[in-house]
Structure 1
Amino acid sequence: MGSRAQMYKYEFDRVRDDKWRLQIWMCETYAPLLKEYLPEIEFDFKEGLKGACTTILSITKEEEQKVRKLLDVFKNHVLLKKSENIEPYFEDELDVCYALDYNLAEDFITKEVGYTKCGSVEHKAKENQDADARTQLVETLANFCEIHPLYKKARTIMPIPPNPSKTFHLPVELSRELAEKTGKRDGTGMIRKVRETPKLQALPLAEKLKALRGAIEITGDVEGKSVILIDDLYQSGSTMWTVARLLKKKGARRVLGLACVKSWRDTDNIND
């Protein structure tokens, strides 16, 4: 699937009262996830053409809704994996990671690049400190956490931490408000930067990782816990994966990344 995936299509139709036909594309990526996240449902997929596969499900109305909502998560949000750029530096520190959407998209007709709807909202929430935009992001993040089984079970929400001198940091605000909305534990006070780091987006990847080394401290108890790690922008993922490594070293059972937007490219100025 490369470093990102998004299910562009599925078909889910009733064939009899309690029988449903499900066809998905990108089967190699998403069939195992359906089986993992909904183990109570028997998915017996038969492979077809062009990466599609089909199964017939005997399910209740409640189970049908669970399947449909999870399919919509796969279709509407971006599943993120390690890019080839950070692959040599990390292992399995981050159990799973999603972004609500990309920050930019190319117009199909004009070929012009502009903000996606989510990208525009994230930009307003971050650059303008727009409270309404932040509320929109929290609503979407909360809906995601309610539907996705792993995120629903997680009890702690924690942000990528800011520099000590920073007075406004969107991931902190989102984590705090998301914890309040979902009833999960607010972990904003459980993580901090112990020293200033330079503007990381401007650094080549190797220098970025060097700057992060020893700069972040986990101060709360995460032993045996599943932690949702919040960031506003996922670029190469190096910061998210670095913090996930620290959480795993502190005994976290699972680390689930969740970003507002994914940048259009994976690279962090690698050749600059």
Structure 2
Amino acid sequence: MEQHFDRFRRNDFWVNIHKNTDAYNISTNSKYVNLINHFFPILERNSPTKWKISNNYENMSNLWLPHRCCDQDIMTKFINWSEEVTKEVLWLNLNKNIKEFYDDELDYCIALDFNIIYGEGRTKLGEAEYQLKYKNKDLNLNEKEQYVCIIMRKMLDSCKYIPFTNKSNWCVSPMPATEFGKTKFAWNLAERLSKHLALPFINPILSYNKPQLKNLSIKEKINTWDTIYYNNGVKLDENQVRGNNVLVVDDLYQSGVTMWEYAKFLKTIGAKCVFGIVCVKSLRDSDNT
């Protein structure tokens, strides 16, 4: 019997479980082995061969687990978890437009959903993100709170997939913004998540006169962010970052340049792990050029 857990081709995290008469064979994208080990350490611990990188398929790792070495209740929980973790959120990684520029700066990144579905319009989360980002001035307080609650409920629920071992070494950060940017939805969302999770909040203040990035190419955007980050264009407390794990919160993931550039910067100042969480992923992987 074989079970394959995935959502779409664009979802980076998948799990394949093959059961035969005497063993389970588990396969996954190698990037997510550590994540599985966090939530189900007993699987590798009980495997005689441990995780092994596939000789036949790129970025695949395999785990052989004889029936005599595994608890059926644990396997049932793992199967249920595999279905949830691969289908309830989108796991994002490098796409063809940014792959040449980055490596492992962003450890993991999840989106709560796509913003729209072809032929069906905006998703529920996509509509909430759109209203709060672009129609905020037209909403009354009750409408704003309803849309915020839609996103926060899903975001908090999705945090169960973040490998929190000890929350004392985690903190939350929005994307860098000016003082005016701190009033916008994305920053407010990060502040709310920080409070709900009881995690320290990083204040990355953009002190550089950032040009409009909307119509720049991906390469031009990367160069612009590099100029900002490595010329003291962002002020934050590096002691909050150094040696810690940073949960970066944003509203929209399109090409991924903004998230990956910030992750790269956080790693240069000592972040141990950078985990991104965003409201929605656009159907496009390219930016608005």
Q: TM-score range by the shorter chain?
A: 0.7 to 0.9
Q: Is the 8 A contact 2:14 2:29 kept in 1?
A: no
What SS is found at the alignment partner of 2:132? helix
CA distance 1:267–1:151, shift in 2 (3 Å) = farther
Partner amino acid, structure 1, of 2:246:
V
Q: 2:57 — aligned with what?
A: none
Q: 1:15 — aligned with what?
A: none
Structure with the largest fraction of helix: 2
Residues 76-91 of structure 1 mapped to structure 2, 5 A cutoff = 76-91=88-103
Q: 2:160 — aligned with what?
A: 146
Q: 1:158 — aligned with what?
A: 173
Partner amino acid, structure 2, of 1:176:
E
- The equivalent position to 1:192 in structure 2, one of 202, 205, 209, is 205
Residues 110-149 of structure 1 mapped to structure 2, 5 A cutoff = 112-129=119-136, 130-149=144-163
Q: 1:262 — aligned with what?
A: 281
Q: Is the 8 A contact 1:125 1:133 kept in 2?
A: yes
Residues 124-173 of structure 1, C-alpha deviation per residue, up to 9 Å, x if partnerless? Answer: 22223323212221222122113432588562010012244436322211
What SS is found at the alignment partner of 1:42? helix
> TM-score w.r.t. structure 2 length?
0.72
CA distance 1:167–1:179, shift in 2 (3 Å) = closer
- State the distance in 2 between where 1:27 and 1:114 align: 32
Q: CA RMSD in A?
A: 3.7
CA distance 1:3–1:227, shift in 2 (3 Å) = farther
Q: Is the 8 A contact 1:6 1:76 kept in 2?
A: no
CA distance 1:29–1:120, shift in 2 (3 Å) = farther
Residue identity (%): 26
Q: 1:175 — aligned with what?
A: 190
- The equivalent position to 1:219 in structure 2, one of 198, 218, 236, is 236
> Bigger CA drift: 221-230 or 163-172?
163-172
**1:69 Cα offset (Å):** 4.0
Residues 84-133 of structure 1, C-alpha deviation per residue, up to 9 Å, x if partnerless? Answer: 22122222211111111111112xxxxx2511122112112222332321
Q: Is the 8 A contact 2:182 2:188 kept in 1?
A: no
> TM-score w.r.t. structure 1 length?
0.76
Residues 217-262 of structure 1, C-alpha deviation per residue, up to 9 Å, x if partnerless? Answer: 2511211000001110011111111111111111011111111111
Confirm whether residue 42 of structure 1 aligns to residue 9 of structure 2. Answer: no
- State the distance in 1 between where 2:133 and 2:166 align: 26
Residues 239-258 of structure 1 mapped to structure 2, 5 A cutoff = 239-258=258-277
Length, aligned pairs only: 252
Q: Is the 8 A contact 2:12 2:93 kept in 1?
A: no
- State the distance in 2 between where 1:172 and 1:73 align: 26
CA distance 1:120–1:146, shift in 2 (3 Å) = same
Q: Is the 8 A contact 1:8 1:75 kept in 2?
A: no
What SS is found at the alignment partner of 1:185? coil
- State the distance in 1 between where 2:115 and 2:76 align: 31
Q: Is the 8 A contact 1:3 1:82 kept in 2?
A: no
- State the distance in 2 between where 1:207 and 1:173 align: 28
Q: 2:11 — aligned with what?
A: 5
Q: Is the 8 A contact 1:35 1:41 kept in 2?
A: no
The runs of 5 or more residues in structure 2 that have no matched partner are: 1-5, 55-59, 137-143
Partner amino acid, structure 2, of 1:5:
N
CA distance 1:156–1:66, shift in 2 (3 Å) = farther
